[in-house]
Structure 1
Amino acid sequence: MGPSDTAALVAAVAAVADGVANGVMLVENGTLRYANLSARESLAAAADVVPPVLAGIVDAVRRTGFWSGAVSDPDEVAGELVASAWMVDAGPGSDVAMVVVSRRPAPPPSPPDDVDLRDVPVDVRRRTDRHQVMSALHRIAVTGSADHLANAILETVPPLFDAEHVLILRPTPDGRSMSVLGATGRTSGELEGVQVRSSGIAGYAMREGGPVVCVDSRRETRFDTSEMQQFGLLSAAAVPVPGTPDDWGVLAVYRESVGVVTPDALTALILLADVLGAAVHRTDLEHRLRHRSLVDPVTSLDNRTSAYRRLDDALAAGRVDGRLTAVVLIDLDGFRTVNETFGFGTGDALLAAVAPVLSGVARRGDVVARLGADEFAVVRAGLTSTFEATELAATILAAFAAPIRVEGRDTVVTACAGVAVGHGHRTAADLVREADVAVRAAKRGGPGRLEVFDSAAGGALRRRWAIATELRTAIDSDALTVVYQPVFDIEAGVLVGVEALARWTSPTLGPLGPDEFVPAAEQAGLIAALGERVLRRACLDAAQWQSLLARTGLDTPPSIDLRVNVSPLQLRMPGFLATVDDALADAGLAPATFGIEITESVWLEDSDTVRSTLLGLHERGIRILLDDFGVGQSSLGSVTRFPLLDGVKIDRSFVAGLPEHRSEAVIGAVVSVADAFGLDVIGEGVETPEQMARLLRCGCRRAQGFLLGRPTDASAVADLVERGGRLAPPAAPPLSSEHGT
């Protein structure tokens, strides 16, 4: 055992034994390393020298490991010493003994005439039992918890003191009652966890600051004994448990018979209270030290050590549930200037004022920490997407919009945020490092900036976040537009329907296609709002076209069906059917003229909710078309698996391959399958007259594409309707075709 180990042991024992009435000593290799005040006073223990009266005990305990008994040396000490000693397990090669002693006054020369000598062996045996118990409890006090020691006292005290009941009590904050922290005996089930009046013997002992003995509760006048009598307790002794600065609580022993508590028993009870108080003090000290090691002293938030530990715990949980953990790093702007201008005291006040702002944004389970200087972190676990993390960061930055009160002045504080998101295989150090990279990038952009770390995607994630952020505003302000691509019966040359397509031009990113903003909307949880905007706008426009058709005067006016693309995520939402019903009702549009287009990803979302939604649409007479048929997982199995389909759209890759023989064979096969199941067939992406002719030859009568009509606004569709919906002569084919959602 090295010097540092000995010093640590001495410090631990001193935390317990400095205020104890018993003498406590530590002896290493025959040298006295520690003696508390009681040992120095009662044994005149000199520095580094073991008192001669105990030298034999130390030698014996080194051979046997434990020694307990009484020793007497008239030349050294007046009276008899009761001692317990044991070897302390301090690691390999350790040779440290702990000795606990108490002094018992010398007995009178001869016993009184009324003493029954037959009781002497019993008394001696009881004393020995008490000493052994005290030694064991001392060991628990040094190495165990206060709760462990309290339980040990409750279990061992009753048989040693002829007491049926032992209680440990603490005063409540208002001082009007005392809480029973632990109890043993027949009253334990009734008393543990309840409160008793502080007017009883326990409260009286607290107020007196010393031991109190009640011989007969029926004759007691110093304190209220009604509760004792309620439980049939006729005598008792209560001893305060010392604390800092006031007594911590009370250790009380109750008996069901009238009787005097012997001096030995009362002394032992006082020693037990001292030991319990020392253990409480040590445990409280350990808690304070542990708290200090994990909490930032300026802000009272978690410090770096605690944040890393809790972040690693969150990542470990993510390995089980598959969810994400995010770190949002917050760096204050101009903090160094505050320190240099106003001093470090003001800087600390600013940091302390920022802490509640961050805590106010956090939710239960989040970690809010100060990592150092002016850098804070908020950790959130259980996320399903990066957008949840960026929303948290944006909310934090928005919280700094209001002035913060610092030293009596309203102060404007700005900050930048860096976000890093990871799965369970990452470490706390990984995420904090990446968030630090992101926050430094944000600071280069100026105050209030937010950056997301994404090295692999090369900034694509930041772009998607920017798209989602602006898209939310666009949806709220109804800034999106809807265009319509016509669908023709190419055999009759007449308009039969339109496909609604959302279009959006971002104020900062410019025109964006659905292939960018629709996935961003899905990941950010905006797809329901986006889909509803498109649905309502399209239904209102379609209702106007139906009115125009009714005024054409034709004997058989053409029927124009509206088709709207629907995300699988929308089909999973319980309120989707109600949204469709409301949109159709508000526009006055018949369900028979409305349909939805779904993609093969619906098969991946095959659930009771999706099936129920599709069935509800089908029962309303709303038509369901499968888009991009023939590629991916959409195939003949899709038709048989979902019999609610009303039509399929042949993927543009096959139409683009015409007049190649293989593409024509595939299209012919699709048409044959569709005819067998009574499904409509639409060819997508028609760009040349030859492709249109080949579609007709394969039996596909309906088509859409740039050759037949580009996506256009509602007024252009209205003009086409007023002209009878006739297909114009084909123009020169363009180089490419547009396809969207």
Structure 2
Amino acid sequence: MSDPTDDLAVLQAILDLSPDLIALSEFSGEVLYVNPAGRSLVGLDHLPDTDILTTDMFFTVRGLLVADEVEASLKTQGHWRGLSELRHHRTDVAIPVAVSAFVIESHDGIPGKIATIIRDRSAGKRRDKELQAVAATARQHAAEQQALAELSRLAVHADLAQLMSAAALAAATLLGVESAAVVHQAHAGDATLNVLAASRTLSTRASIPAGNHSMAGYALQHNIPVICPDITTEDRFDTATMESLEMRSGAAVPVPFASSEHWGALAVYGYEPRMYSADEMSFLAAVASVVTSALKRVELDRQLWLKSMHDALTSLPNRTLAYEFIDDALMRNHTERSHVALLLLDIDDFKIINDSLGHESGDRALVRFSERLTDAVGERGTVARLGGDEFLIMYQNIDGPDQAEDYARHIISKLSAPLRPGDGPIPMSVSIGIALSEPSMSRRDLIHRADLAMYRAKDSGDGGYALFDRDDLYDADRVRSLSIDLRNALAAGDLRLHYQPLIQISTGKIVAVEALARWNHPERGPIEPTEFVAVAERTGLATALGSWALRTACAQAVQWRTFSDITIRVNVSALQLRNSAFPDDVAAVLRETGLPPEALGLEITETVWVSDTARVSATLAALGAMGVALLLDDLGKGYGSIAYLDRYPTFECLKIDRSYIAELPGERAEAVVSAIVMLAIAFDVTVVGEGVENQAQYDALAAAGCHLAQGFHLGRPVDAERTTALLRQA
């Protein structure tokens, strides 16, 4: 089979149909042949018959820069490949090309001709530019998306000022303009727009004209995006502001806030005339939308704050907001040298309305009462509802007590005025306590004084007021106040238990811990247990306090008994013993917590209150039958305490009152303690010496044969966490 390349017709077809330039030339540079595609590329209809064409006539000056390199490579290597630039013969337009040249040897080995294949790179460059444009667009889009993501994050977490500054900077930077601004119209019809945030040039301005007197004002007023390619051709709005800033072009979009209200606008400005594309305007609108979302978030936060700071029933400021008002007023009072007057108001006999008409009617009565009270106080004072039927009125810049009492009398008079027909039941009688601030007085002290005065006013009879007197500080009103706070503390879980170890004297080991209630009042600070326990006894809270302590202590003991055989001791009020349901309550707690009965000891406090009744006896018997240990506290403190060992054989343990321990060591005290120990042993009862504060007392108890000891010398009451660490070390 013959070689097809030997067929000249085939070779001629290849040359004629090739889309690339194919040329043949001498080493001297004379061009012998250029195929049709090549002639078309450089703008030659045909090669001249007479004039000689040389290769340098086909290239631009820039294209000939590689001529020496090409010649050297052809002579030494026989070929060359690279980039160059052709010249169009009719238009002189440069044509970027890729060149491949090689030497065609003659049959006798002497260099003959140079063949050159040239490919037009114009289309490739166009594609490169298109790809570069696409890449630039992609980069711009990515940058815009990143900026919007960051702005969206700020819209959730940052304050408005920070977000708006970031929005203005992002708009100016990504649109490549000189300046951007976020403007706001505070009230409809305002002649100016406030510049809330701006970048660069506009950052020095506080406002710009509204309405048709500025580009941003026009966008806001007409609720449309606005493009100003050049201020010299703008006739829709006044461009004086832009001209004064040397800005020639700009664009603005509204910043909506509600369906019927447009809050402001986002505007960008450039030094040079330019048109803004649809994509750029879309980005501006997206930035404006982020600002809108932040405005909604801030407004929602404000609404939630207002709701949280106002009473849901009456819409008056609540306790939290009232306390803020008082703090602010007291701070100003330190410098203005005037008084803050606080009036605490309690509705007289409001319980009658609730009990007789029902709580819904009571709520409606409170709403109507708050309206009458607000009207009576007027604009001079601030009214708040603290809760229930208790209200607070605060006056600032009061000259003295006479002025405050005048206000109180006025309020009482207005509230007691006859009702209009159809008003329904409305409280008309109140008791008011008045307190005036003193230099450096805290809110807590001011409220406490008004509270004490208010209770004195109630004791004086309905419909009166009382001005705080220092004698109020330590009277029975404190009990009333603490009882309210204690009830709230129990409901809110604000009390805590601390635990004090009981040491077995013979071994020195911890065998039990006593649970002791602690109350850190949010305003008064730590309240002594003796005080709040007494308040609980006097106000009917002893059962609730005891139940909380029992349940909490038992649950904690269960955790400790996973690694220790410790027992827990809980104080029980004599009032609880009079409750026939108490044994069932104890059984329920043991069942729910999983604590074995033998791990619980109940210490009967205030034994002087225990009366020898069948009910108490049955309660103690039921507890003993359950397997719970009963302990007699403070033996020797009352007149008949020792007799309880005989009356109630269920007692397994007794505590020697700390007043005897305090006298140790000493001949008389040692004799008394020894006698108590001997008596206890006779009754087969374990003895605890409590209040041990030094080693000498501990040694005296050991010498007397006492079984257990308890006191600061052996361990102070600490919280559950520290007690856990102590038990793990034991």
Normalised by the shorter chain, which TM-score bucket?
0.3 to 0.5
Question: Rg: which structure is higher?
Answer: 2
TM-score relative to the length of structure 1: 0.40
Of the two structures, which has the highest relative contact order with CA contacts closer than 8 Å and spacing of 6 or more? 1
